[in-house]
Structure 1
């Protein structure tokens, strides 16, 4: 390591990534392991970030591509293409499955690790030097070489909203105390520029900054403020990058109780329990993080909630928290109870985990999915668990031996799984990205070796737009 360090990053397990111009290593210091240097990184590394739920590392450097390295297999995974000059900065979304980059070629780009190409690409008259996601993953902020900030609203994991939202009329809320600068505002700033010339009157003439380029950029944990410092290091500026007025948070998860009398709804970190007879909210439950998955236990007495990477079990009648534990390394996407009361959870980290639905004690971990798992289904007899998501396969797990018993191929981006109540038939629905059409597959376990065979594969046409 003959050159200086250029970037460092921690993941949620306190592993440390560090890189220099020509080297990079992974250090699991908490486990007492020595740093591991790996090959395959780009030349002249400028930036590094964890992505894919801590399973991958993204590198940006002089070779124009963003390299993604598999930390488990110690080998290159993919290269995100599109830039034509060096990449100055890379950043991963909070869920770990989108990577953004700022480049000397005057463009900022966004990729989905499960997609084939960039899902957002925008250019300017000057290079982009820094890029950062807002903590909720719904917006991306980039710093340009002319001292301007630019922001994009983002849609679902593999899409970006058409057009670009640029900061306008932004307010500078504060500055570095070391400079003695006063709080000021940008009146009618068209793109939220952090131009030091706007504040020259608050500085002694000899100290007035002349280099407007932004050297570094950071977003506050609540997503409202961006802090930027210039190359001359004279000023640090805080800019409000949150929308003045935003829509009410949408419901991210809903589920009915087994008796059909109660509906659970998750809005942000709050869970509301509705009595469907009176159509009134009968209980409110407050979690510490946004809730993305809900499911009632078979007896309706407990409610499982996935909040960020944690699983929580709540008593429905009293609203008491029964159990709370960290179940995954990244955001939980789906939870499901088996007929016998086992609790399954799946996450963006690609793992499916099985828990005691009363105590929260871990029963088994199923690994085999490479991309986020978004849907789960138990067989009626509770002997099988089906899982699928952003990948191109459905996996079946035995709850007797806790092993994978089958992998079903033929659909990508699976959004629905359901076992028939009386026969061992599994219905699978998904959307093929290539043609955007919905598809249905029916599989049946039959034959002397109980192998799964496709029964029918009708194509589901999207209804015509009205």
Structure 2
């Protein structure tokens, strides 16, 4: 019965989806995206390592720069919005100012860096790598504070709670883990049964997490003990990315089926079904107020939606 209700809801909301702003110019598939706190600036990265900054209101490119050798896997704005970080296939995490000038590089990983996340105060950056480790970096000094080991395969995602005491991670063997900080100890571990977990995220309060993976799998978990709260049926292929809105009330997921789906976290009900081009969607990002959502699209574009018209959870 619940599945029937969900399917009916998807049909209903698809026709009412907001129209996106489409930003085009990347010569390769866009693989990562981040939004400034006010949703007016997008930074995107592509398959060949190029970064571009976009003025969303005027729909124009502000600058472009070669950011990494090889694919850009992740982009994240610092909480104060004055800088951003990128992660790449060249094993580096690079730090940038808003003009596109590189101001630092975090070196230490021995494999591709798949994901990054800032602490709420902007002083710490967490990174997840194919080398099966998570590193916690001091952003100011560009030094490693801690190396967390415990995954048996490449770490595909990392997320931090606002108070900095909870870290969540996932790997390509299908496991998700929670960590207690600053001790750096594993608090809980769970085999999701999905084979691969491509992305995981945690709410700002550190109480709820999400994981996504193969065959349309998307699941919301209680962080305490990693207990399943609900599955989110709707995607028809691999789900590659998941992000909570800053208030934790919405979750955006996307992947190979070329649809960004927005969910109400408390109920698991769908809020939006957003068509995003004709190729996979490897990254999504919310603005700080949750009103704007951006997607990195395999068709070489970035799409940006204003979500004001959605039902409020």
Q: Specify if TM > 0.5.
A: yes
Structure with the greater alpha carbon radius of gyration: 1
**Is the counterpart of residue 321 in structure 1 residue 102 in structure 2?**
yes
Change (3 A) 1:431 1:258: same
In 2, Cα distance between the equivalents of 1:453 and 1:346?
A: 20
Q: Do the aligned residues in 2 keep the contact of 1:323 with 1:359 (CA within 8 Å)?
A: no
1:284 and 2:53 matched: no
Among 194, 201, 219, which residue is 1:418 paired with? 201
Trace 1:217-366 onto structure 2 (pairs within 5 A): 248-267=27-46, 268-290=48-70, 291-307=72-88, 308-316=90-98, 318-341=99-122, 342-366=124-148
Q: Distance in 1 between matches of 2:79 and 2:52?
A: 19
* Residue pair 2:200, 2:212 contacting (<8 A) in 1 also: no
Report if aligned partners of 1:411, 1:431 keep a CA contact under 8 Å in 2.
no
Q: Distance in 2 between matches of 1:459 and 1:358?
A: 39
Query: C-alpha displacement at 1:260, in angstroms?
Result: 1.4
Secondary structure in structure 2 of the residue aligned to 1:457: strand
Query: What corresponds to 1:458 in structure 2?
Result: 231
8 A Cα contact 1:411 1:430, kept in partner:
no
Superposed CA RMSD in Å reads: 2.4
Q: 1:462 to 1:272 in 2, by over 3 A?
A: closer
Contact 2:53–2:62 at 8 Å: present in 1 too? yes
Match of 2:219 among 440, 443, 451: 440
Residues 262 and 392 of structure 1: is their aligned pair in 2 closer, same or farther, counting only changes over 3 Å?
A: same
Equivalent pairs counted in the alignment come to 208
Q: Quote how far apart the aligned CAs of 1:453 are.
A: 5.1
| Structure with the larger RCO, 1 or 2 (CA within 8 Å, 6+ apart) | 2
C-alpha distance in 2, partners of 1:455/1:293? Answer: 27
Q: Give a deviation string over 1:403-441, Cα, whole Å, max 9, x none.
A: 22221233432234333345x422323335xxx341414
Q: C-alpha deviations, 1:323-363, integer Å up to 9, x for none?
A: 12423111111111111211111111111101012331111
**Structure 1: runs of 5 or more not aligned:** 1-246, 446-451
> Retained in 1: the 8 A contact 2:91–2:107?
yes
Q: Pairwise mapping of residues 90-129 of structure 1 onto structure 2 (< 5 A)?
A: none
Aligned counterpart, 1:385: 167
Q: Residue 219 of structure 2 contacts residue 228 of structure 2 at CA under 8 Å; is this kept in 1?
A: no
Per-residue CA distance 1:361-399 (angstroms, 9 max, x = gap): 111000111111111111132211101021222111222
Gaps of 5+ in 2: 1-25, 238-256, 258-313
CA contact (8 A) 2:115 2:129 kept: yes
How far apart in 2 are the matches of 1:348 and 1:399? 22
SS of the residue aligned with 1:335? strand
Following TM superposition, the consecutive aligned residue runs of length 4 or more in structure 1 with deviations greater than 6 angstroms are none
